[in-house]
A = this chain, B = another copy of it.
Amino acid sequence: MAKNIKTKSVKSSKRTNGKAGGKLEALAKSVAEMAFRKKDPEVLIPARVLSNVAFNEKTRHVEMGDAKQSRSFFNYGQAKRFMQTLLVASKCKELIDRDKTASIRQIYYLSKHTIKGTSEKTFDDQNESDPIIEDVEVAIDALREELHVFASNRGNLVGPITLVDAGNTLDCAAMGSAGYAVPSIVEADVIQFKKCTAKFILHVEKDTVWRRFHEDRFWQTHNCIVSHGGGQPARGMRRLLQRMHEELKLPVYVLLDNDPWGYYIYSVIKHGSINLAYESRRMAIPDAVFLGVSSFDYERCEMSDDVKIELDDADIKRAKQIANYPWFANKRPWQKEIKKMLQNGFKMEVEAMISKDLSYLTEEYVPMKIKDKKQWLD
């Protein structure tokens, strides 16, 4: 059943810009007004610290709380960061006005200069400017992408969806052997969905696994979209998954390695990340389902011991941390899953499944997992 997506009033680039641009202008005005009123100019920035992050049971998002930090001009310890915050904000405003985008590295180079009459640089290192970009994001409650700042492109997908990307209409079922390259900025002013007949999304961890599914035409046989994020998915991929899930009502199934890193990737896709908790509502997919690889699959699928990779101390420590995440702590199936991995004493990669046969993964394992809801981890 083909869904022909009703084109919403597509936000024009200008209109989106107007929103974040307007917020940046408001920020600048409030600072200027404080100065004119002879008050110490300050910027209030929601605190991006662990103590200000909580799990919202209702939305199932990792969310940021209300704590704020002030950054003021006449505070000796804050003056430099105050200056840096306004500098980065002004560069973002410039990007928006010129309708250009820049990488975080480019923001660093655009913002770096020697302060007049001194030998002091505005920034000595990109490590200084990166957190400032995040500060500006939270201060005006805008996504990085709305500030016209992009991350690396990473991730590809294939399947029966036609979308418009930067004005180009693309049939993602016919984009060649590497599929559609997911860009860093996938907001509605850049990407619009046109037509989709897919029934679900299968997201896999690595491009080599993805290629297995593409080559075996899994997306065609099962009428779905298959995507990968090249490891921990970049913001563009997470946001696009979320948009397809929300706007096209596609269930999202995730296939990751059976190791703490795989659990963590799932956790971020589903609930959001602790570091970037302020983005969860635009990035998280609370209904995402973990298909595998599960610690129980070793016995369930009668794997040979060729697939075993011994857990090291770091794995064990990380697994225990993840088991204690508030969003896993109260879930019996997840507690059993992680406990079983620790009991096994080994981890397993998705690719290891092919030691049975090259197409075991695509023709038996995943179809079986999708069919048998009892094996899903939520």
Give residues in A with beta carbon < 8 Å to B.
95, 98, 100-103, 105-106, 109-110, 112-114, 121, 150, 152-153, 156, 165-166, 168, 170, 174-185, 190-191, 207-208, 211-212, 215-216, 304-307, 349, 351-352, 354-355, 358-359
CB–CB B152/A177 < 8 A = no
Using CB atoms, name the residue of chain B closest to A357.
B110
* B residues in contact with A212, CB < 8 Å: 102, 106
* B residues in contact with A216, CB < 8 Å: 100
Bound together, the chains give a CA A307 to CA B109 distance in angstroms of: 8
Using CB atoms, name the residue of chain B closest to A100.
B358
CB–CB A207/B153 < 8 A = yes
Bound together, the chains give a CA A180 to CA B166 distance in angstroms of: 13
CB–CB B182/A178 < 8 A = yes
- If the complex has contacts A170-B176, A176-B166, are A207 and B152 also in contact, measured as CB distance less than 8 A? yes
Name A176's contact: one of B106, B183, B211, B215 (CB within 8 Å): B183
CB–CB A181/B176 < 8 A = yes
- If the complex has contacts A106-B358, A166-B176, are A304 and B156 also in contact, measured as CB distance less than 8 A? no
Known: A109-B352, A150-B211, A175-B175. 20 other contacts (CB 8 A): A100-B215, A100-B216, A103-B208, A103-B351, A109-B355, A110-B355, A112-B355, A113-B304, A114-B305, A114-B306, A152-B208, A153-B156, A166-B177, A168-B175, A176-B180, A176-B191, A177-B190, A178-B182, A178-B184, A179-B181
* B residues in contact with A184, CB < 8 Å: 178, 211
